Amino acid sequence: MSDTNQRIENVEVSWQHLKKNMLSSFDDMQRLSSEIDEKLKVLSEQEERFNLSKQKILENIANAAEKIKLCVGGTMFMTTKTNLLKFEGSYFHALLGSGKWLPDVDGAYFIDLNPEHFGRILDYLRTNKLHVSDLDTYELERLYEIFDYLQFPYPEPRFAWKGTNLNENLTLSNGDKTVRQTKGINSGAGWTACILGERAINRYSVRIDSISGGFMMVGFVPASLRNYKATGANCTSCGWYLYLAKGVLYSQDGDNRRAYSTVQFEEGCTLSVIYSEAEGGSIRYEKDRMDLGIAFRNVGDLPLIPAVDFSCVGAQLTLV
């Protein structure tokens, strides 16, 4: 066979291979296109069902009477639909939107809750102000449990960070609700500052504005401030803390790097610290309202004051 014929045959073989691969690729593209079309069809159907469901919910809410009578654990309350629907995605949105929550023969909607603090919540819906100065720690915890049940956001805190005798490495802003480490160590190599809440309280939440490696201890100190140091490094001598960088616990009761949570704390997330007398004097943490579980039990030396130890320039928290 001449060289020319051999080259022609090689070209023909190559062309056949190329043609086969192209046809195979074309078949694959057709199958992929069909799969995409099918998935788009499913998504379109789901979107249509969602829109129909959303429209039905809005119709049910619109059809509900504006003036609503509630029977809360046997006690009657009167309010408006507008008040109950103040917060999107709440318990009342779900019930009124379902169209299945109907009043009893007396015209009242029944809610199986303790009525003791329900009036405070209705006043909060009306005025945006929550009055709790007359409540002790246990009663305040019960009030916030109702907030959780009704899926209402907690009110803006009526307390701030303590501005008096402020550590020189810290700066307050935003009405003393935001604290930032502006001086001192920049690598988490040592604890150089601590901030306290202005008064004792059984729960608080902070937004992490700047994480700076997570070199912060967030928790409570006893109001007695026994062994407390404004320069920081209180984690084993005064209080109960979660170390954000490692998810471990420290306390005056002997906890030292005790494992607690593997959750990552990133900028923008909200961390809540909660003392509960009802749970045997426990402290628990929540991240973005997700319960991380009980961290400390049988906490004594009450009452408790919010506290944060800092160890890195640029770290910043805001009370929310």
Question: Residue written as tokens 């709440």?
Answer: 90
Q: What's the gap between Cα 53 and its chain centre?
A: 27
Single-letter amino acid code for the residue at 233: A
Point out the least confidently predicted range of 14-23, 172-181, 202-211: 14-23
Whether residue 227 contacts residue 247, with contact meaning beta carbons closer than 8 Å, is answered with no
pTM of the model: 0.60
Q: pLDDT of 200-257, one tens digit each? A: 888 899 999 998 877 899 999 999 999 998 888 899 999 999 999 999 999 999 999 9
Give me the torsion for CA of 135, 138, 144, 150, rounded to 10°.
Answer: -110
Q: pLDDT of 188-199, one tens digit each? A: 557 888 999 988
Q: pLDDT of 117-172, one tens digit each? A: 999 999 999 998 887 767 766 777 788 889 989 998 877 656 789 888 888 999 99
* Strand extents, DSSP E, the chain: 67-72, 75-80, 108-111, 170-173, 178-181, 193-196, 203-210, 216-222, 240-243, 248-251, 256-259, 270-276, 282-287, 290-296, 304-310, 316-319
Whether residue 182 contacts residue 205, with contact meaning beta carbons closer than 8 Å, is answered with no
Q: What's the gap between Cα 155 and its chain centre?
A: 14
Q: Tokens for 230?
A: 């404004």
**Environment class of 28 (CB within 10 Å of its CB; exposed 0-12, middle 13-18, buried 19+):** exposed
Give φ, ψ of 264 to 5 degrees: -90, 140
Residue 79, pLDDT above cutoff 60 = yes
- Residue 37 has a pLDDT of 79
